[in-house]
Amino acid sequence: MSYGVLKQAPLAPNPVIIASMGHAGVGIGAEAYRWVLIDVGADPKAPTLKGEKQQLEVLRRYGSTILRFGASLKRGETPLVPRALLVDLDPRSANLILQSYPKLFAMRDKHAVYGLGGAARNWAEGRTRFQKEIEQKQDLASRIRGISPEPVRGFILPFSMGGGTGGSFSSEFMRYMKEEENLGQATIASFATIPEFGWDPVIHGASHISIVMSLAHQIKYSDAPILMENSELRKQASLFADRLRGRSSIVDELPRQIQVGWRDYRDMNLLAAHAIAEFMNSFIRETEWDMSNFRTWLAAGKPKFVIPWLIPLVPRGGPTMDSIEQNISQGNQGILFDVAPEGEKVEAGPRDSACIILKTKGSITAEQREYFKRLLEEKFEIPDKRLVFIKVPAMEGEPASACILLNVKAVGKKILPLVAEAEDAWESYKDEYQKRGLSHEEFKQAVLDVTGHLG
């Protein structure tokens, strides 16, 4: 049976690795695999190819891009294994997820890349330790080959910019891949969250420095830098708590005593995972889009930061366009970054643009295009010539959805105050950071890069 399946499978893999960084990254990245597996009807705890129709959908949609085949099981089933790297200084978070899902993360230790423990909430220390403990001691390049022996075509990096590890690890990871690893051809998409000050357990000054350094690295090295705010994720998650309770999450199956660190983020991470899943849908085989096309879309873009608008926020309804319109009218939609207060227009930038990843059954009709053109014109004043439509075929029983990636100048308004806070904080932190390898000049340059880019 599995021979028949593999014969129909695409032969040339275009491997895309999700490299999850730090606590938030690991939670969101692991949830994103679960989300796409559930979308195609696979068992998210132990996905296999059994030749059943539903299981075949996994291959039809993703080929072996984001998953690879494990060693065949006795029953003639072939396990599907996420091309996942869970990277953290602190081994606890990734360890718990790996131990709880031994059949999903079937390559065991190969999925996990740890430092020597003790997260510092300090970007400079995080970067130095990444270089010493991950690039050198653990030989990062060989760790990547362990997950993908075939040349990697893309990386997706979920992380929070607020702590020390996620922000610094992903910054250095991107630089390393683009400059040193001969992987400059691989497309990098980052999914970075901004903490909610006054709620999340972050250290105000240090966190702002981490945000600025990590934004500057995304401007330089990320081909598709996608931003989300914890405050928006939290707000939407609470509005949609009932519906999200009905979605299964990786958190639900962790042993009760270790759910503590994850429970608060369960619903928020489901929404972030949904955005990553929709993004991954854009480069499946049936679209005319390749992940590297995002690089071209954003290369000329200034701003380059992108924010995701999910319609619906929580999947619901049928596979046709009607259900998207219905979800909009019922309020089941949301932008995961607060740039456009409800009912208000935002200030349009001259080069604002949007990429609409539209998952429906059948082809896009002229009326559907008109619908989105109006939607984007009304709210963002983006002219229709700056819209890109990517059509993803919805499967039987799969709710229609649209993920609109917005590249809008208004993002700058939210980010520039964070840069000002970082500059304020720098004076009292600079000795500490300089000792750990971040020079005054490099920080100031990062400030200039971000303000220059967004200003």
Least separation, in Å, of the C-beta of 387 and ligand GTP? 29
Give the one residue of 16, 17, 23, 84 binding ligand GTP; rule: CB under 6 A: 23
439 Cβ contact list (under 8 Å, min separation 6):
none
- Residue 155 or 297 having the CB closest to ligand GTP: 155
Spell out, one character per residue from 217 to 256, where the chain touches ligand GTP: x when CB under 6 A holds, - when not: -------------x--x-----------------------
- Residue 176 or 265 having the CB closest to ligand GTP: 265
Least separation, in Å, of the C-beta of 182 and ligand GTP? 27
Is residue 201 a contact residue for ligand GTP (CB under 6 A)? yes
Is residue 341 a contact residue for ligand GTP (CB under 6 A)? no
**Cβ-based neighbour number of residue 294 at 10 Å:** 26
Question: How far is the C-alpha of 401 from the C-alpha of 55, rounded, in Å?
Answer: 21
Spell out, one character per residue from 146 to 165, where the chain touches ligand GTP: x when CB under 6 A holds, - when not: --------------x-xxxx
Residues 262-301 within binding reach of ligand GTP (CB under 6 A): 265, 268-269
Query: 109 by DSSP, 3-state: which?
Result: helix
- Residue 128 or 193 having the CB closest to ligand GTP: 193
Q: Which stretch binds Mg ion (CB under 5 A): 161-169, 219-227, 260-268, 426-434?
A: 161-169
Give the one residue of 14, 16, 19, 27 binding ligand GTP; rule: CB under 6 A: 27
Rounded to 10 deg, the angle between the 410-435 and 440-454 helix axes is 180
In angstroms, the Cα distances linking 345 to 287, 330, 332, 391, 448 are 32, 20, 19, 27, 29
Least separation, in Å, of the C-beta of 31 and ligand GTP? 9
Note whether 251 and 285 are within 8 A (CB): no
In angstroms, the Cα distances linking 378 to 307, 353, 371 are 17, 14, 11
Question: How far is the C-alpha of 24 from the C-alpha of 234, rounded, in Å?
Answer: 14
Radius of gyration of the chain (CA): 21
Is residue 202 a contact residue for ligand GTP (CB under 6 A)? yes
Which residue has the closest beta carbon to Mg ion?
A: 119
Is residue 373 a contact residue for ligand GTP (CB under 6 A)? no
Residue with tokens 């653990």: 138
Note whether 154 and 119 are within 8 A (CB): no
- How many secondary structure helices (H) and strands (E) does the chain include? 17, 14
CA 49 centroid distance within chain? 26
- Residue 159 or 294 having the CB closest to Mg ion: 159
Residues 66-125 within binding reach of Mg ion (CB under 5 A): 90, 119
- Residue 230 or 407 having the CB closest to ligand GTP: 230
Q: How many residues does the chain have?
A: 455
Query: 349 by DSSP, 3-state: which?
Result: coil
Is residue 9 a contact residue for ligand GTP (CB under 6 A)? no
Short-list 212, 164, 160, 213, CA closest to 191: 160
Give the one residue of 195, 225, 303, 312 binding ligand GTP; rule: CB under 6 A: 195
Q: What are the residues binding Mg ion (CB under 5 A)? A: 23, 90, 119, 165
Q: What are the residues binding ligand GTP (CB under 6 A)? A: 22-24, 27-28, 88-90, 119-121, 160, 162-166, 193, 195, 200-202, 230, 233, 265, 268-269
